[in-house]
Amino acid sequence: MSMITNELVALFTFLLPGFITSFLFYSLTSFPKKSEFEAVVIALIYTIIINALVELLGIILMAIGNGFAIGEWNQLSKTVWSVIIALVIGLVWSYLYNNDIIHNVLRKRKITSKTSYPSEWYGAFSKTKRYIILDLKDGRRIMGWPLLWPNNPQQGHFVLERARWLVSEDTSAIPLETVDKILIDLHNVEMVTFLKFNDELGGE
């Protein structure tokens, strides 16, 4: 039993940099967390990449150290640098995915037509900063600025600022002047409409 425990501790210690990167990525993006097996596989891939970068960094630092001493490169140094690199990779990877940078470059080169976002729903709200109209299942319609929105179309709430009820298909509306924000359950929404700004209407 002690041997098994020691092996598990050693495995966890080895995969720790990968788990740090994975934790940051899934904490800072809206991607659903993987199963336990997939999480270990992803952590292993990250760990291999991080260890390779640490070894490369060690070679560079030791080459610099041939000219003048900057410190001792030992196991503690490797551990510290592996944690630092894991944090950097997690933050950079999250930034690239949250801003659709990787897939945007690939789309321009006709390599893929997909985005970096976890779903079309999330991509529409992330890229489209404008007023929306929520058509509710009871027939009412409300317009407002989406301060917050659900990460996926299955659960969550809309938080609207500068909200107003629409009373007809034209521009007639009832402003909610005493309301700062309004919270609407996603399950009460039948359709979401993204509105154009006035300067986008042109001659329409």
Q: Which domains, ranges and CATH numbers included, belong to the chain?
A: 2-107 (no CATH), 120-201 (2.30.30.100)
Instruction: Give the confidence band of 202 by pLDDT, cuts at 50, 70, 90.
Output: low
Is the pLDDT at 196 greater than 80? The verdict is: yes
> What's the rounded mean pLDDT across residues 183-204?
79
> What's the rounded mean pLDDT across residues 72-78?
85
Structure confidence at residue 199 (pLDDT): 59
H or E stretch covering 75: helix 75-98
Instruction: Give the confidence band of 62 by pLDDT, cuts at 50, 70, 90.
Output: confident
Instruction: Please state, in angstroms and rounded to a whole number, the distance separating the CA atoms of residues 22 and 28.
Output: 10
Structure confidence at residue 2 (pLDDT): 56
Which has the minimum average pLDDT: 50-64, 87-101, 112-126?
Answer: 112-126
Tokens of 162: 């500068």
The one-character DSSP state at 193 is E
Please state the φ and ψ torsions of residue 72, each to the nearest 5 degrees.
-100, 130
Structure confidence at residue 182 (pLDDT): 92
Mean pLDDT of the chain: 86
Is the pLDDT at 170 greater than 60? The verdict is: no
Tell me the residue length of the chain.
204
**Strand pairing report for 141-148 and 132-136:** antiparallel
Is the pLDDT at 189 greater than 60? The verdict is: yes
In the chain, DSSP assigns E strands to 132-136, 141-148, 157-166, 173-175, 181-185, 189-194
Which has the minimum average pLDDT: 9-18, 41-50, 99-108?
Answer: 9-18
Please state the φ and ψ torsions of residue 121, each to the nearest 5 degrees.
-60, -50
Q: What region, left, alpha or beta, does residue 134 occupy, with left being phi > 0 and alpha being psi -120 to 50 degrees?
A: beta
> Could you give the 3-state DSSP secondary structure of residue 175?
strand
Q: Which residues pair with 185 in a beta bridge?
A: 157
How much of the chain, in percent, has pLDDT values that exceed 70? Answer: 91
Instruction: Please state, in angstroms and rounded to a whole number, the distance separating the CA atoms of residues 204 and 202.
Output: 6
Instruction: Please state, in angstroms and rounded to a whole number, the distance separating the CA atoms of residues 77 and 58.
Output: 9
Is the pLDDT at 69 greater than 80? The verdict is: no
